[in-house]
Amino acid sequence: MSALLTSLTLAALAAPAPFSPASPAGVTWTLGSLQPAGRGATTPGAALARPTLRLDGSGASLKITGNTGCSPLTAQAALKGQALVVRGVQAGGSERCTDAALSLREDYLRLLNATTRYDLNGGTLILSGGAGRLTFTRTGGAMTDTPTDSLDGTWQMRVTPGPAGPERGQALLRFTFSGAKVTVAGLAGCNTVTGSGAVIGQQVVFGGVASTRKLCPGAAGTAENRILGLLRAPLTIERQGGALVLRGQSGQLTLTRAPVPAPTGGATPDPAATYTLTRLNGQPAPRTLRPVTLSFRGGRLGGSDGCNSVGGEYVIRAGRVELSGGLMGTKMACPDQPDLGFQTFFEQRPTLTVQGGTLTLRTAEDTWEFQAR
């Protein structure tokens, strides 16, 4: 970190401050206005997501996190007295920024990079460098100061723009909050989506959202693209009764608490057995090109989804099957075969029981029964 400070910076940090104000660290700040050099102060428009900033650490080892309003950002900083020197500002891609959001993003990053001083007055923080300044307000309320106390757990979003079923455009996404971390997994319409991010102040910011690339035509494709667009930009957190609303520039995602199947007991799978799917939700298993199979050997789940071979590392925790890195598989096309949602099913951490040669996996909505062979 010492290489971070130029001789000018060192001189600024060495200058004694007339007083020792409270530190701006440990608080999430939301941009109220910005004033580039030679221009008047401006306030982001009502349709724009406000950039945020959070400093953690102390002295010459401050870490900055936040977002630009349409992309996440990170940086380093050094603090002494009222001198605050920001360096190494990095922001995520701007491909999801509208023209107005992109203009705000560029001004915000330029002024943040130029910061050499801060002034703190109650709930107002001013960062200045040269003739430019950024003015922030402390993001208040229980959702900001301790947002994860009430968010921890799994939330789900279900949207069915057309006939039900993954191949017809059903969206079923699960958001899991744990501390300041958040993950998303499930179906956005026709494609499986995975992503991870963080809760920053009153916003959720995903660092990256990936999806499969199945063709999704018509209304289902339109809805899917809208959902993916929302996930790839900062989302403001709101509570509406028992629902959780994640609001973006072009819409919102409304989540409800995901029902949790009651944990069940049962033996662990036989590592020598291969389990074949025989019943799905109480009905005979659908016909597939290959049998749907599972094996549990040496901490690795393997088998077939009826078309492709799949595998991944797993653990059984509190009666649930948890994949540590997702499922990997071959890429063979089986156009005439029903999509069982194999990947999505395991992303929901199904409960597992074994009774004799019968292995049962359950989520809140589906029950898969396998027989040992």
What was the pLDDT predicted at 369? 95
Name the residue with tokens 């608080």. Answer: 27
326 has pLDDT over 80: no
Give the pLDDT band (50/70/90) at residue 339. confident
Mean pLDDT of the chain: 78
- What residues does 91 pair with on adjacent strands? 73
Q: Which residues contact 358 (CB under 8 A, 6 or more apart)?
A: 369, 370, 371, 372
Chain centroid to CA 336: how far?
A: 34
More confident residue, 71 or 2: 71
Residue 345 to residue 362: CA distance in whole angstroms: 9
Burial class (CB in 10 A: 0-12, 13-18, 19+), 210: exposed
**Is residue 244 within 8 Å of residue 222, measured between CB atoms?**
no
Tokens describing residue 345 = 């099913």
Please count the CA atoms within 13 angstroms of the CA of 173 that sit on its side-chain side. Answer: 28
Chain centroid to CA 300: how far?
A: 26
**Is residue 77 within 8 Å of residue 86, measured between CB atoms?**
yes
Tens of pLDDT, residue by residue over 113-162, are: 999 999 888 778 899 988 899 998 886 433 333 343 468 888 888 654 43
Give the pLDDT band (50/70/90) at residue 325. low
What was the pLDDT predicted at 265? 46
**Is residue 233 within 8 Å of residue 70, measured between CB atoms?**
yes
163 has pLDDT over 70: no
283 has pLDDT over 60: yes
Tens of pLDDT, residue by residue over 66-105, are: 888 888 888 999 988 889 999 888 887 777 788 888 889 9
Instruction: Look at residue 60 and give its three-state secondary structure.
Output: coil
205 has pLDDT over 50: yes
**Is residue 156 within 8 Å of residue 255, measured between CB atoms?**
yes
Tens of pLDDT, residue by residue over 18-58, are: 333 467 888 888 888 898 888 877 887 766 778 888 888 87
Give the pLDDT band (50/70/90) at residue 164. very low
Report DSSP state, residue 268: P
**Is residue 172 within 8 Å of residue 207, measured between CB atoms?**
no
- The widest CA-to-CA distance across the chain, in whole angstroms, is 79
3-state secondary structure 95-110: CCCCHHHHHHHHHHHH
Element (H, E) at 207: strand 203-211
286 has pLDDT over 70: yes
How much is the average pLDDT of 206-224?
A: 82
Least confident span in 100-104, 165-169, 363-367, 368-372: 165-169
What was the pLDDT predicted at 367? 92
Instruction: Produce one character per residue of 61-91: b if its CB has 16 or more CB atoms within 10 Å, e if not.
Output: ebebbbbbbbbbbebbbbbbbbbbbbbebeb
- Looking at the chain, the whole-number percentage of residues with pLDDT higher than 90 is 14
